[in-house]
Structure 1
Amino acid sequence: MATAAKGYFRRLSQRLTEDIDDLDTKEMVAATEAAGVRPCTDYVRGEEITMVGRLRTVSAGTRGCTSGMEAELWDGHDTVTLVWLGRRRIPGIEPGRTVSVRGRLGDRDGAKVLYNPLYELQGEP
């Protein structure tokens, strides 16, 4: 019993003192693995992809596209920019939300991008 208590307190103290970004990264990597999808870094341009991640930013009317909405999706490894053309707002697409997306990976100015991806909201916001 004393050994189990020591182990519990050791794990608790690690979690309390560990960097929040490291914890967030570990959580997202675990979610990606649990969903059975490959990390974003494994995909190449032109490939049909499925990705699970957390929305870091969401904005409308950026990069000269006044009739679109963009979001940055992070899976714990890398980010992909999601672009919905003709949309100014999508209910549930907000920073901090975990989503699953599917689409064909493109390239915009050297960055990975998905245009009009299919999406599914995961869990509670």
Structure 2
Amino acid sequence: MAPAAGYFRRLTRRLTEDLEDIDAEQIAESSQATGARKAADCTRGEEVTMFGRLRSVGTCSKAASATVEAELFDGTDAVVLAWIGRRRIPGIEPGKTILVRGRLGERDGAKIIYNPYYELRERV
């Protein structure tokens, strides 16, 4: 009976809990499994590896320098990823799961990584 009770408990939780909370929990668990650090635990100036899902992707096309910016969410905090000199990056789209490496900076009080190394991953 224990497996059935566990199944119904998980099912009830999924039906009653906020979907964003469930998604954040799943991303955080997957992030930990990859060995990545939690964004909430990282500070400016550190070399970091993070894993999460892209919430949004946009371009800033000023005359001289194009930039692709994406918001990465790892279940604990959001980090802006900025690729300078790019107008588009194939595979960098909202909803994609990604592993990134780079030096964490700060811009207007938000965490940011400029020109991060990235690997697209399977969906969590």
- TM-score, normalised on structure 2? 0.90
Moved over 3 A (4+): 62-66
Distance 2:97 2:112 in 1: 17
Taking only aligned residues, the RMSD between alpha carbons, in angstroms, comes to 2.1
Give ranges in structure 1 of 5+ residues lacking alignment: none
Distance 1:62 1:56 in 2: 20
Counterpart of 2:57 in structure 1 is 58
Counterpart of 1:48 in structure 2 is 47
SS at match of 2:54: strand
- Give the Å deviation of 1:62: 6.5
Structure 1 pair 15–81 and aligned structure 2 pair: CA distance change class (3 A): same
SS at match of 2:90: coil
Counterpart of 1:84 in structure 2 is 83
Distance 1:124 1:35 in 2: 13
Counterpart of 1:26 in structure 2 is 25
- Give the Å deviation of 1:15: 1.5
Q: Does structure 2 conserve the Cα–Cα contact (< 8 Å) formed by 1:60 and 1:66?
A: no
Counterpart of 2:92 in structure 1 is 93
- Give the Å deviation of 1:64: 9.0
Q: Does structure 2 conserve the Cα–Cα contact (< 8 Å) formed by 1:62 and 1:70?
A: no
Distance 1:64 1:78 in 2: 32
Give ranges in structure 2 of 5+ residues lacking alignment: none
- Give the Å deviation of 1:124: 5.0
Deviations 1:39-78 (A, max 9, x none): 1111111111100010000001169985111000011011
Instruction: Kindly tell me the number of residue pairs found equivalent between the two proteins.
Output: 124
Residue identity (%): 55
